[in-house]
A and B are shown apart, each in its own frame.
Chain A
């Protein structure tokens, strides 16, 4: 009960933040407020029992989305001209629609109602069958990787396609990416002259990597999995790029390797599906991967989570480098 009150308080802050984001005409400020919005969102997800979702929102919202938006702002300018087009009409439409949606919510089941239609269909079935068929504690991972493996395959390919799309858009024209030429005495790229962030950042990067791997492989037992781990590992590399300059980060993980990661993860996922077909099962039916169906499930889940993680890392890093390189040409 009191937790719900906490949740409502967080929701009020959420609405205020959203209003402020829309009202401000400085895009830089809007991006920073988006960071606060993401923190509030994660806290709300956590209060609503969605630990995995909150972890994903944390991994994406703390860092990566800010970095991407700032990368785009550096190329487009941070000042908005301000004002709205058709303000009254838009306000009218929005108000009327809000009232209609709020009116409609009175027919919805109340928060936490165990008899709600959502809880009558496959949800309880997943919860009931997970221990018997897959035998891992995290039901979210079980549903994500095994029961609804097709969905996740589709999502991974959407991520893949978006990554390829950004590469197409931003590496074309203007002679593509060229090696950056700087005079020798110019201040070095990155934050080399800022000792405190550099020293502490360099010290933390291994821990972020380690934690990313923990989230990747502990995903069967606690909150975590490929999507979160991919974002965390990407955040570590982005931190390295910010501290030492993109050129240095590209020397450590060249673009060609990143492109292989993007394709390789998705391929690994698909390959597991094909492998299970060859072994006599259905596409993405991991039970045939080992003599014991449950062991087969475990192997399948670990491998496809790895594929997801690799693709997400690759795509996020490709996107980051594409924006960074565009600014330098």
Chain B
């Protein structure tokens, strides 16, 4: 039980770094954005994990239930998901414009073109 309670945090760390790897090592800009969304999802997972209370239930009041999980992390993440998709759309928009200007969405090719 001791260790099981930590697995969620480990998965958070691993997901965070998988996303980070995509951002720093993959030259494709869309792949970088997908990596960023994995990174973001890892943070969401961390927050929601922290809000959980053993034996509690979702913070929507019901007769006969007295223990609820913490609503605050859920509020933060709920809005962050929608903000996340909007900013992702903005990022994709920028990538589309880069493709139109440079004809490529591979980072190193773009840098090559810039040097000329």
Contact = CB atoms under 8 A, between A and B. Distances in A.
A and B touch in their complex, CB below 8 angstroms: yes
A222 B61 CA distance: 9
Of A73, A113, A119, the most chain B CB neighbours within 10 A belong to A119
Contact of A108 (B6, B19, B52, B68): B6
B86 A163 contact: yes
A contacts with B: majority SS: helix
A36 to B, nearest CB: 12
B21 A90 contact: yes
Interface residues of B, number: 84
B72 A143 contact: yes
A269 to B, nearest CB: 13
B31 to A, nearest CB: 6
A301 B49 CA distance: 27
A142 to B, nearest CB: 8
B3 to A, nearest CB: 9
B100 A173 contact: yes
A93 interface: yes
Nearest to A24: B31
A137 B92 contact: no
A98 B13 contact: yes
Nearest to A8: B7
Given A50-B77, A65-B88, A119-B53, A11 B8 contact: yes
A316 B86 CA distance: 7
Interface in A296-326: 312, 315-316, 319, 322-323, 326
B74 A114 contact: no
A264 interface: no
A159 B28 contact: no
Contact of A140 (B8, B78, B89): B78
Contacts of B113: none
Contact of B14 (A7, A15, A123, A163): A15
Contacts of B24: 86, 90, 93-94
Contacts of B106: 81
A144 interface: yes
B6 A50 contact: no
B78 A90 contact: no
Contacts of A169: 90, 93-94, 96-97
Interface in B61-109: 61-62, 68-83, 85-90, 92-97, 99-100, 105-108
A155 B83 contact: yes
Interface of A: 1, 4-5, 7-8, 11, 14-15, 18-19, 21-22, 27, 30-31, 34, 37, 41, 44-45, 48-53, 56-57, 60, 64-65, 68-69, 71-73, 75-77, 80-81, 83-87, 90-91, 93-95, 97-98, 101-102, 105-106, 108, 110-114, 116, 118-119, 122-124, 126-127, 130-131, 137-140, 142-144, 148, 151-152, 155, 158-159, 162-163, 165-166, 169-170, 173-174, 221-223, 225, 227, 230-231, 312, 315-316, 319, 322-323, 326
